[in-house]
């Protein structure tokens, strides 16, 4: 599977080459601390359109811009007064890092990026290789480097397998440290809302702001007013069902038994039930040793992709409560399962 694209090991020479390719208006897949992104410069409409083409992404779904620092971010948005003060506090606490802000855009920001919206999503990534490139190219737009709707990539090989025919270069920065996409915090309305949960949790944001933030629920439709909130997203090709405590509940409902075509995934190796599944040990997987949510987040997309490449016709995966980083894992799994 996959092909075409060259995977470049990150060296000073390859980084220089990637900068030149980006400045020439081409797209390149780059590592970030969350997931791999498919990057293009923000002031070249042709380059931006190539992102949508390569991903098969509908033009109503806007892109995230990556800026090097707060001053680079402020060049692109209209923000002042109390809101600017709050933005500074959030940046001091969490940037560079996996937190994306939705703010009112400046006129100069391309409608291709924002899908015609008056707001723009921007984050300040922490990955050293991505930052080195940003220093030389200026801000880059980059959605996750996967075909629209499929599982996000957390290593260069994931990008090659699912996008290799559509792009020509992938810069390899090793596996992503966080493993799920950034938290998206909408600061453009009267109430601050989290449009997508991530490693920076609602609790962490509330603590810095000293006020509550609301967690928005995904919607079923393709409502352009709520891009990225599509209930079905991140889906493997193999049917996925979720359970909280016992995989047996799902299997009974589904008219299935433990067996060679069913994969069972637990959140933690240490909390797996002892009975029942024993004889199907080869069908049992786990996302962490001891239930550390950060470890689960780092492994979730890679495991879904791996299982998708095996001969299962059903994946049953345990979901966490929506607490802390568990909210992001729950969100991705619920959306991945919504297709089936
Ligand atoms: O961690 C991340 O954020 C990764 C890495 C590559 O940085 N990027 C990423 O981009 O996840 P993408 O395009 O896969 O997801 C961006 C989400 C989309 O769901 C999009 O709808 C939403 O951000 N978005 C972008 N601009 C928006 C806006 N102005 N208002 C509301 N949502 C917006
Ligand atoms: Mg994505």
By C-alpha distance, which of 301, 275, 277, 273 is closest to 287?
301
The pTM of the full predicted model, rounded to 2 decimals, is 0.95
The full set of domain ranges for the chain reads: 6-215, 239-337
Pocket test for ligand 1, best of 58, 79, 144 (most atoms within 8 A of CB): 144
Distance from the CA of 197 to the center of ligand 1, in angstroms? Answer: 12
Residue with tokens 């495991």, as numbered in its chain: 303
Question: The tokens of 222 are what?
Answer: 């393709």
Residue with tokens 């290593």, as numbered in its chain: 155
Measured CA to CA, the distance from residue 130 to residue 6 in angstroms comes to 18
Ligand 1 atom with the smallest distance to the CA of 182 is 1
| pLDDT computed for residue 271 by the predictor | 77
CATH 3.40.1380.20 fits 6-215, yes or no: no
Distance from the CA of 146 to the center of ligand 2, in angstroms? Answer: 7
CB distance 28 to 15 below 8 Å: no
Question: According to DSSP H, which parts of 1-127 are helical?
Answer: 12-23, 45-55, 70-74, 81-94, 111-114
Spell out the residues 6+ positions from residue 167 whose beta carbon is closer than 8 angstroms to its own: 4, 5, 27, 28, 29, 38, 54, 145, 159
Ligand nearest to the CA of 182: 1
Distance from the CA of 209 to the center of ligand 1, in angstroms? Answer: 22
CATH 3.20.20.70 fits 239-337, yes or no: no
Pocket test for ligand 1, best of 52, 64, 123 (most atoms within 8 A of CB): 64
Residues 154-182, buried b or exposed e (16+ Cβ, 10 A)? bbbbbbbbbbbebbebbbbbebbbbbbbb
Tens digit of pLDDT per residue, the chain (340 long)? 566 999 999 999 999 999 999 999 999 999 999 999 999 999 999 999 999 999 999 999 999 999 999 999 999 999 999 999 999 999 999 999 999 999 999 999 999 999 999 999 999 999 999 999 999 999 999 999 999 999 999 999 999 999 999 999 999 999 999 999 999 999 999 999 999 999 999 999 999 999 999 888 766 655 555 556 667 788 999 999 999 988 887 777 776 666 668 999 999 998 777 555 566 778 899 999 999 999 999 999 999 999 999 989 899 999 999 999 999 999 999 999 988 7
| pLDDT computed for residue 328 by the predictor | 96
User: Ligand 1 pocket by C-beta < 6 Å: which residues?
Assistant: 32, 34-35, 37, 61-64, 98, 100, 102, 114, 117, 119-121, 142-144, 181-182, 184, 195, 227-228
Output 323-327 pairs: Cβ under 8 A, ≥24 positions apart.
Answer: 324/201, 324/203, 324/293, 325/198, 325/199, 325/201, 325/293, 325/294, 325/296, 325/297, 326/293, 327/197, 327/201, 327/202, 327/215
* Cα–Cα–Cα angle for 174, 71, 89, rounded to 5 degrees: 85
């Amino acid at each position: 599977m996959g092909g075409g694209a060259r995977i470049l090991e990150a060296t000073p020479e390859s980084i220089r080459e990637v900068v030149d390719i980006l400045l020439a208006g081409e797209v390149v897949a780059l590592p970030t601390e969350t997931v791999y992104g498919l990057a293009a410069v923000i002031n070249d409409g042709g380059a931006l359109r190539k992102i949508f083409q390569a991903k098969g992404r509908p033009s109503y779904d806007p892109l995230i811009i990556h800026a090097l620092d707060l001053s680079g971010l402020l060049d692109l948005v209209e923000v002042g007064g109390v809101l600017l003060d709050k933005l500074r506090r959030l940046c001091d606490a969490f940037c560079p890092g996996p937190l994306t802000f939705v703010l009112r855009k400046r006129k100069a920001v391309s409608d291709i990026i924002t899908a015609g919206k008056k707001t723009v999503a921007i984050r300040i990534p922490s990955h050293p290789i991505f930052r080195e490139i940003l220093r030389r190219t200026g801000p880059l737009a980059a959605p996750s480097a996967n075909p629209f709707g499929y599982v996000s990539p957390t290593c260069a090989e994931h990008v090659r397998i699912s996008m290799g025919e559509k792009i020509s270069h992938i810069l390899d920065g090793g596996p992503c440290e966080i493993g799920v996409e950034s938290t998206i915090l909408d600061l453009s309305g009267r109430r601050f809302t989290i449009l997508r949960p991530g490693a920076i949790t609602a609790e962490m944001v509330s603590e810095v702001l000293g006020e509550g933030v609301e967690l928005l629920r995904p919607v079923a439709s393709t409502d352009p007013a709520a891009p990225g909130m599509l209930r079905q997203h991140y889906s493997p090709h193999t049917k996925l069902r979720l359970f909280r405590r016992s995989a047996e509940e799902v299997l009974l409902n589904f008219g299935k038994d433990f067996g060679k075509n069913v994969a069972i995934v637990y959140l933690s190796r240490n909390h797996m039930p002892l009975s029942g599944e024993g004889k199907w040990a080869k069908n049992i997987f786990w996302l962490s040793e001891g239930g550390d949510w950060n470890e689960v987040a780092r492994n979730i997309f890679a495991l879904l992709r791996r299982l998708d490449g095996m001969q299962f016709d059903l994946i049953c995966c345990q979901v966490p409560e929506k607490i802390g980083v568990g909210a992001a894992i729950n969100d991705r799994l619920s959306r991945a399962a919504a297709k089936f």
